Amino acid sequence: MAKLYFKFGAMGCSKTAQALITKFNYEERNMKVLLLKPAIDTRDGATVVKSRIGLQQDAIAVGQDESLFKLYEEVYPDRNVIIVDECQFLTPEQVDELSDIVIQKNIPVLCFGLATDFTTHLFAGSRRLFEIAESISEIKSVCTCGAKATVNARLDDNGNVVTEGSQVVLGGNDRYVAMCRRCWLKRIKEQKERGIS
C-alpha cells in the first residue's frame, strides 16, 4: 500500500542527495520516477535538482498555482513513484493533492524538505505534511558544537544571524547554516550585546 512520506531536516543534512539516491534506486528496478521541485527554487536552474555533494538531475518545476494531481493524471500517468525536493515550498493544497494521488492511484510520494524557516516557524507545505503524511522521518545534521542542528540560521553579508525578513530567501552555504537552538540563541544574544540586530 502506497504512502505519503515526509523526510525533513535542517540545511545540509543531505535531503536532496537522499532524494536523488532514492530516485536512482527506483529506476534501477525499472520503475519510472516523476521528480518534482517547486518553481520558486531557482538556485541551481529552473529545472535542476542539485545536492551539495554534486549529485544532480533534471526535474519538473511546479508553480504554486499548478495542480499536481492534474499534472500526474494528464501528463505523467505512467510514473510509478513521485519524489518532491524542497517540498516546504508547496502549498497546503498541493500537499493534499499528493495525498490524493497516494490514495486514489496507489502511487508512493516521497517529499524531502525543511520543516522550519530561519525564524524556526513551520513552512506551510511542511505543516500540512506533518498533519497528513503517513510516514514522517527526520534526517539529522549536526551543529558546529556537536549537538543536533534544528535551526536553519540565515546569515547576512557579514555573517551575522538574521531574525527578520521574508520567509523565502534562496541561498546555500553562503546564506544559511544549520545550528542547534542553543548556539542560535547565543549568537543572537551576542549580536544584540554588540548592537547588531
Catalytic residues: 86
Cell of 123: 513552512
User: In sequence order, which residues have a C-beta less than 8 Å from that of residue 41 and are 6 or more positions away?
Assistant: 61, 85, 86, 89, 170
CA dihedral sign, ordered 121, 44, 143, 6: positive
Q: Are 79 and 104 in contact (CB under 8 A)?
A: no
CA dihedral sign, ordered 24, 25, 31, 32: negative
Q: What's phi and psi for 92, nearest 5 deg?
A: -55, -35
